[in-house]
Amino acid sequence: MKRRGAAAARAAAACVMAVAPLTGCGVRGSDVIEAGGPATVTVFPADEQRLLLFFVSPEGRLTPVARRVGGDGSGQAVRSGQAVGPPLGDKVLAALFAGPSDGERAAGLRTRLPRPEGRPAMKWSPRDVLVHLPLAVRDLSETARRQVVCTVAYAEGGDGDAEVTLAGQDGALPPTHCDA
């Protein structure tokens, strides 16, 4: 009698095991699953008619803004090939240090850079760029430095892979890339 009871219990357990996976499940939640790359969107104005400035999003991420060259109050329509006026790179730096525009502020973008005492200057050569800032570069936060580095790397028709050295009143920082 006892043995038969145990056998019945075993049988019942096996049946439950066999049927249980069928009953208690439909579509269940999952973790985040990576699927493919990002979407490449078109940003206007196009490459030649814009300058990229890097500001900081509310999450603390470096976020590019594309300003039309010579459009709003960001800078003059001066291309790098033209000799008149201050070099374009300097204009870009001035625009960066001027901070985000009202529209950009509305989108939550901020800058981590202090307002400089003088005018920042940029010396450009084909593979590397030297930036002179009228402030103490060592006091800048990492994000602030990257704001400058990336902005500079894409300025002057650069394609973002230039090596940038920041120099200031307290000396120079090691050269670095925008993607680093």
Partner 1 sequence: MRPRGARWRARAGLRTRLLLAFLLVAAVSAGTTATLTYRKARTAILEQAQDTAVSSFRERVSDMATPLPIEPQSLQEQLRALARQGKPHPWVVFAEYGSIRVSSGTSPVSTVITPQLRRAALANPHGGFQRVEKHGEPWLTVAVPTVFRAGKTVRPTGLVLYAVMPLSDEEANVRSMVTAARDGALPGLAVAIIPALLAARSVLRPVRDLRKASQSMGRGRLDTRIQVKGGDELADLARTFNESAIALERSVGELRDAEARARRFASDVSHELRTPLAGMLAVTEVLDEDAARLAPDTAAAVRLISAETGKLAVLVEDLMEISRFDARAAELNTDEVDVAQTIRKTLTIRRWTDPDRIVTELPDGIRARLDPRRFDIVVANLVGNALRHGGAPVTVRLRKAPEAHGEGTRLVTEVADSGPGIRPEVLPHIFDRFYKADSARTRSEGSGLGLAITLENVRLHGGTIRAANGPQGGAVFTVEIPLTGGEATGGEVRK
Which residues are near partner 1 by CB under 8 A? 4, 7-8, 11, 14-15, 17-19, 21-23, 25-45, 47, 52, 57-59, 61, 63-66, 103-104, 106-109, 154, 158-161, 179
CB of 168 to partner 1, least distance (A): 26
4 or 115: CB nearest partner 1: 4
What is the maximum alpha-carbon separation in the chain?
A: 106
Least Cβ distance, residue 21 to partner 1 (angstroms): 4
- The distance of closest approach from Cβ of residue 97 to partner 1 in the complex, given in angstroms and rounded to an integer, is 18
Pick 13 or 136: Cβ nearer partner 1: 13
The nearer residue to partner 1, 169 or 176, going by C-beta atoms, is 176
Distance separating alpha carbons of residues 58 and 109, to the nearest angstrom: 7
Q: Which C-beta is closer to partner 1: that of 16 or that of 136?
A: 16
Element of type H or E holding 63: strand 62-68
Nearer to partner 1 among residue 103 and residue 134 (C-beta):
103
Q: What is the DSSP string of 98-125?
A: H---HHHHHTT-B--PPPPSS--EEEE-
Q: Which is nearer to partner 1, 28 or 127 (CB)?
A: 28
Strand positions, DSSP E, 112-179: 121-124, 128-132, 163-168, 171-172
Strands 50-56 and 163-168, bridge-based pairing = unpaired
CB of 155 to partner 1, least distance (A): 11
Cβ neighbours for 155, distance < 8 A, ≥ 6 positions apart? 51, 52, 88, 89, 92, 93, 122
CB of 108 to partner 1, least distance (A): 3
Contact call for residues 65 and 100 (beta carbons, < 8 A): yes
Q: Which amino acid is at 5?
A: G
Tell me how far, at minimum, the Cβ of 41 lies from partner 1, in Å: 5
